[in-house]
Structure 1
Amino acid sequence: MTYQSSNGAMALAKPLSSSHDCTAKFDIGLARHPLLTATDQVSLLREIDISGSASVGTLMAVLGQGHADPVGAILAMLEADLVSVDLPTGILDEHARIARIQPLAADDDTSPDDDPEPHAPQPIPSPSDPQDPEDGAAAELPVRIQRLEAADLVPDVLVGAASARRGFASLEELQRPGVYILLSHQNAYVGMGVNVGRRVASGSQPISDVDSIITITEKGGGLSEDDAQVLERIIHTRVSAAREVRLVNSTPNGASVTPQRYAALNAMAALACESIARNGYLFLDLSPRMVLAGPRAETGQLAPPRPFNAAPDQEVMEVSFGENLSALSARHSETEWLLLRGSDIRLEPVASANASASYHRAALLHSGIIELAPDGRSYVLARDILFGSPSAALHFVLGSKGQGRGGWKPIDPDGGYDPNTERLIAA
């Protein structure tokens, strides 16, 4: 239950202090009341703005034990129509939530918190219709000259000390999807947020002794939530591969993405990492070329090279799907399953597949680990890769859930296969 100020709200205050007989008044941006100084008001609103609302207990802590009546000060803001209160239990206690009252629709001024949704990317002029910067009219190019499309995602990288953490929430350019890196002396946490400034300021991540905070957004606000999830996984992979710090969180899920969008996001990540390295925060042990190129695949994904005419030591399994498509696999260790080079991979995952199936296709196609088959009916794996289970390998191959490990069948239960067949060795 959410309430704005009312006579009933002030009635709650009457037993607390006789000074509440003075009605709170709002004048030139300031609620005037004996229990609420100008500093009190600004401090309370700042705490509320960090995450959009704050509990009564949190606001009492902001005012401190030296305040004559912290709850009375909060109620004075309610009486002045600066904030509203949500009473989940029907009573005012330390768990009640205080939030700003939204401005009227007629108001022209808006703050960054009024519109937390990501800004739509600005339209890019078509290569065939370039804009003349002088007068805005379409500029004609000479015959047989065309303008090629270039990368349209430009990173905006901010770095701050841990002591400035709350300040990230107030920056307008961070009221949009983005990625952040929290750095301590030996550890790092890579995350994302739809409103990355508020996400950083929340301080709920499982990492202690943070020294530096890095945020990565797109200058034009051109990232969607899915884009930010893909960028988060790309950055996480790059930090993991650099091996300069220990990542305290596991690999993010990513999101469904086309190969073209993955390439654009990877190029944006490369520029962001180059800026981070140039300023001495991460990737210091890598050459500038490697900082830009990034790892070919996620850590632990590529299997050791295998001679083209050598079969795996373990029993080889097969799955057939589609129209004469098949894939081969074998156990690599107690915790790893090997998907063999030459295996077919379905072009498009089904809608119900995990986002990682689409993400992996885009990432591996970008690095050349999978290639389009000559007949265009599937992708073909160019190198053995590792999965944590046979079901995970099958999910990647089929781009769908449901078959589990049972989809893999021995090539010949009697062991009568020819170890030199092209299908077995996946040459």
Structure 2
Amino acid sequence: MTYPSSSGAAASNKPPFSSPAVTSPIAIASGLVQHDLVSPTDQVVILGVIEDFGSASVGDVMVGLDGHADPAGAIQVLIAAGLITADLRAGLLDQHTMLTRATPIDPDDDPSPSAPGGIMPISGDLPDDVVALSVTSLQPSVLVSPGSARRALGRTGALRRPGVYILLSGAQVYVGMGSDVGRRVANGSQPIADVDAIITITDAHDGLSEADALVLERIIHTRVSAAREVALVNGTPDGAPVSSNRYEELNLLAAMACHALAREGHLFVNLSPRMVLAGPRAEVGRLAPLRAFDETPNGEVMELAFGKGHMALACRRADDDWLLLRGSDIRLDCVASANASVSFLRAAWHNAGILELAHDGGSYVLTCDMAFASASAAAHFVVGGKSKGRGGWQPIDTGLPAPAL
């Protein structure tokens, strides 16, 4: 498609916006931009490419305008008309610049500008006793693609960011992450064959760091595992060091993404909407059955003293089966030697109510019996870093009056 008035965009030394779109008046009539560079079909194509993925790169839109004499100029016309917005974080528009839909602005409306994260601030003055609460800026973008589209995802602008992916193959599933999730899906060699469907979960505003994606990967993996609808072919990821507040935001993002997948019948279809949103309290196999307050667990009860008078109790049921008992003290902070899983579990269990702050504020207290695969893993979690492992646990005489567990 060509236009006689187009100045073209072939010259390598031309600036991105050298077209007449810079100075030509732009009007909108009957929902269509009136400009020589943008026909009704062009407008529908540009907006359609963006809507397909929630956002799209300039390069993706230009591919959609294949044959246009000045596709960059056409994009600028829609930006100037207020129909789309460009994320100019680097200060320049290029093929990687992300484009999103925007509501056309009526100059008479004088709307307040959007706050970071797409949250619209409250306009006008508030009374002195009214407080505007902050909310998370994370908003899930969930894409579902057939397995045959795998290679194309590496070229999708909306996926050139950190995120989580789910590969479905019959009754099997693989959950992974990537700092460039589209490219990771396209170029990866995950141990799952005959992929039927690919699900990607990112933040619509590209607000996830690589560490966030690692945490989100473990959250999604836990939710898929707990639903027991498909068999996971990969083990539990490590996650990443995370604060309780950030975990809460990422878990909320996961809840909204899982709710969308359940609503459309892709995953979590056997769970109630409430369970889909809430998610499991703990990872599969972690939470032990309820135990009476005066019931001593079966096995060898051990104790671990640390810090200033802090104590943890565990029951050794087998060398690879240790139960950290409720009432145990848990050090507040992790040290530098702590692995990512320790920090993740602290944040996750704090949000689930499994960890509560002690009355004196000097430690956390475990409210449920929790399972670990080894003595060192249990000790690592308790003290927030590397410890003496099995040697740090000392047997106690369970013939004496039972301790308050």
Q: What's the TM-score, normalizing by structure 2? A: 0.71
Per the alignment, in what secondary structure is the counterpart of residue 129 of structure 2? coil
Residue in 1 aligned with 2:96?
112
Residue in 2 aligned with 1:326?
311
Taking the aligned partners of 1:124 and 1:158, their CA distance within structure 2 comes to 20
Residue in 1 aligned with 2:253?
268
Q: Report whether the alignment pairs 1:381 with 2:366.
A: yes
- Give the alignment partner of residue 299 of structure 1, picking from 284, 293, 297: 284
| 8 Å CA contact 2:119, 2:137 repeated in 1 | no
Q: Report the residue type matching 2:283 in the other structure.
A: E
Q: Report whether the alignment pairs 1:283 with 2:268.
A: yes
Per the alignment, in what secondary structure is the counterpart of residue 261 of structure 2? helix
Q: Report the residue type matching 2:146 in the other structure.
A: A
Q: Report whether the alignment pairs 1:160 with 2:145.
A: yes
Residue in 1 aligned with 2:403?
421
Residue ranges of structure 1 left out of the alignment (5+ in a row):
1-27, 30-106, 115-121, 133-138
Residue in 2 aligned with 1:33?
none
Residue in 2 aligned with 1:149?
134
User: What number of residue pairs does the alignment pair up?
Assistant: 303
Taking only the aligned residue pairs, the percentage that are identical comes to: 57
- Give the alignment partner of residue 164 of structure 2, picking from 174, 179, 197: 179
Per the alignment, in what secondary structure is the counterpart of residue 332 of structure 1? strand
Taking the aligned partners of 1:390 and 1:344, their CA distance within structure 2 comes to 16
Taking the aligned partners of 1:338 and 1:420, their CA distance within structure 2 comes to 17
Query: Deviation string for 1:224-262 (max 9, x for gaps)?
Result: 011000000000000000000000000000000000000
Taking the aligned partners of 1:158 and 1:270, their CA distance within structure 2 comes to 15
- Give the alignment partner of residue 256 of structure 1, picking from 241, 244, 251: 241
Taking the aligned partners of 2:401 and 2:284, their CA distance within structure 1 comes to 31
Per the alignment, in what secondary structure is the counterpart of residue 251 of structure 2? helix
Query: Deviation string for 1:250-300 (max 9, x for gaps)?
Result: 000000000000011000000000001111110011011101010010000
| 8 Å CA contact 1:169, 1:201 repeated in 2 | yes
- Give the alignment partner of residue 388 of structure 2, picking from 386, 393, 403: 403
- Give the alignment partner of residue 223 of structure 2, picking from 202, 214, 238: 238
Taking the aligned partners of 1:126 and 1:167, their CA distance within structure 2 comes to 32
Taking the aligned partners of 1:192 and 1:124, their CA distance within structure 2 comes to 22
Cα offset for 1:111?
Answer: 3.1
Per the alignment, in what secondary structure is the counterpart of residue 237 of structure 1? helix
Query: Deviation string for 1:149-181 (max 9, x for gaps)?
Result: 122211000010011111111111111100000
Taking the aligned partners of 2:398 and 2:227, their CA distance within structure 1 comes to 45
- Give the alignment partner of residue 361 of structure 1, picking from 339, 346, 358: 346
| 8 Å CA contact 1:311, 1:419 repeated in 2 | no
Cα offset for 1:360?
Answer: 0.5
| 8 Å CA contact 1:177, 1:217 repeated in 2 | yes
Aligned CA RMSD, in angstroms, stands at 2.4
Taking the aligned partners of 2:161 and 2:326, their CA distance within structure 1 comes to 41
- Give the alignment partner of residue 343 of structure 1, picking from 328, 342, 347: 328
Q: Report the residue type matching 1:123 in the other structure.
A: P
Q: Report the residue type matching 2:392 in the other structure.
A: G
- Give the alignment partner of residue 123 of structure 1, picking from 112, 116, 120: 116
Taking the aligned partners of 2:118 and 2:273, their CA distance within structure 1 comes to 32
| 8 Å CA contact 1:125, 1:131 repeated in 2 | no
- Give the alignment partner of residue 378 of structure 2, picking from 369, 393, 405: 393
Query: Deviation string for 1:89-127 (max 9, x for gaps)?
Result: xxxxxxxxxxxxxxxxxx96633399xxxxxxx736999
Taking the aligned partners of 1:278 and 1:161, their CA distance within structure 2 comes to 18
Seen in structure 2, the aligned counterparts of structure 1 residues 166 and 124 have a Cα distance that, compared at 3 Å, is closer
Query: Which protein shows a greater Rg?
Result: 1
Taking the aligned partners of 1:195 and 1:126, their CA distance within structure 2 comes to 25
Q: What's the TM-score, normalizing by structure 1? A: 0.67
Seen in structure 2, the aligned counterparts of structure 1 residues 314 and 187 have a Cα distance that, compared at 3 Å, is same
